[in-house]
Structure 1
């Protein structure tokens, strides 16, 4: 019988679904394609939630109930549907991703944190290398370090935050493993932070980084104070060398904040004053909020401002909610935001997610959110891991850094409505939650 030669099998390429998914997400949140998140943000969030097999937590359910109550009560003051639906468009993915809990899924033994950070590192490195070239070609500009991130929305501030998170990850890994390679990688991303420079973000980063080492022990306090002083001095001299004009600008801003008055002071601070004047006099609005998107949120300005976010004209409405019209829009419109007169800087932007939570969703929602936020952090960091690998210590430090960093970002701007920043931070938090849960099951 003749020998039958079987046809050769075609070459098979094994594609790592996690690497492919994470690389696509890294492109979405780390390049000019982030503008697409205006449309697909909930879909990307849902994809991550389902891929990681997360479960809806009791915290999410309670907060969703408070959101629903705020929404219902707000209809007695007017429909304002565009404002409210747009605000919920940003809020719901934020709540479900932040408080989601891992199920019984172990992700095929792969380290998802490592895979995601490798994908982010590739995209950030491309941005940073192009950014260096841009700075060399235009050294007099303070805003030239853009890479392929684009100037849309948060602009270079988002790229700086991406580099900050990457620095923290590699630096904590260096501390845990003593790998010199990881130290040099972390310093590369730190240098990129300085090249881009984002004043408010840098303050939040330094505070979060310092507090990530802080413990209520004398030696830990001394260590934290030492790190604080070294960090401040290093940043000061780095800016004095690389971007002296930026340093002078931010010192001037600090002086203006210290010399605050209601007529000429920073409008970001005035926004908090306006909240204190307006909301406590109305018990319903104080406790349950005036409704999603009806005060100082990014959603309110996207819908209600005739001169900003004009590219999304289909969202516009000429009917402005009371609190937005009287207490927020007056602080940020085309009469007082001249770039030439330096009126549009961070200190004058009346934006804060914390303030939006208080005004739009109510004091009760904000109180429960703060408590659940703390409890969720404690829940993750108190997962018992026996014979933990070196990465575990790095993950715990990074978790602490990110929870503090995110909280500070929410206080200083409307960051919960920036999908590229929320996806960056929340995906990392959830991946570390999954990995720590895996470690606890493997070593149990």
Structure 2
């Protein structure tokens, strides 16, 4: 599981690079041009139909002239969609929109077809192909045309949605769901759960940034080499500085002398930005930002915030189901790491929406109904966190709602949630005085 997580992390970094797929497409295009020449050496090659060089020149000239224009048009449309996603949702969703497979594949197809047509045209003009080669090149050209048409049709359908708020929310939800599922299956990344205070020699990073990924298998190997234990005190998504420890190591062979601390630091990927793959809290924060942005006076779109609340409920229900499926075995017995806090995830997901949507009775009621749904899931930790945040959301509404009737409606739901969660009543002295 840890190996798959590491592979998924690095593949996601590659997917964010717009040049990768066009480069692969260009290499395949050059390969296709020279494969056609190999037809000269195939048996029965002389029986192939004779395709005139002039017809191929015309076909390839049309392709070369049109593909460059379409590629430029595609880049402009994609940049417009990326800008729209950053404005309508949140800049943190940009990398997910950039990684859209359909758009990248379409752009790669257009650029690859352009390179193919130019190189093939030069080969034709210089007599590189005989009769069999021209026929095979004709077949390859028809195949490339087919790919271009299919890619263009799929891309037009996708670009109409790419960058739209609903599409961006779906992408963030999908990325967050994958990260939450992985973390629910391995709450401590395959290591032992850290239960006591850290002991041993502290290991500090040399850079400032966010922990993007942790190679637990590498840490296990290090601990076995020095016959010791490593207690990791950060999780992916934690902001670290040279003064904040990444881990503590206890070993018999002296980690300072053997340079083990530097090797431990190398197991932590630290970057300028948080990522979605190994950091489920980041996805929750991005969803919360989208909902909070929709509640700003400039946007005034409580419907989007309500939609985000529903998305968050869906994610936590899935997380609860996966986390209770089976006991997680300890794969890395020399490593301990703290489990992710469900209460912290609730803070990331709901606090901003509860604060910014407190003056909107629709949002306040939807929040209470959402917490009520989570209380009834049957997960003890989820039940407690939902009850606590239901009371917090009510206190925000109590300070912001002007009409007694609206506040009473929110209070009725909050009191029901408190009763179901076994929490204290939500009514405060301040509310009683208003009555």
| TM-score normalised over the length of structure 2 | 0.25
Higher relative contact order (CA 8 A, sep 6+): 1
| TM-score normalised over the length of structure 1 | 0.25
Higher strand share: 2
Point out the structure with max Rg over C-alpha.
2
Higher helix share: 1
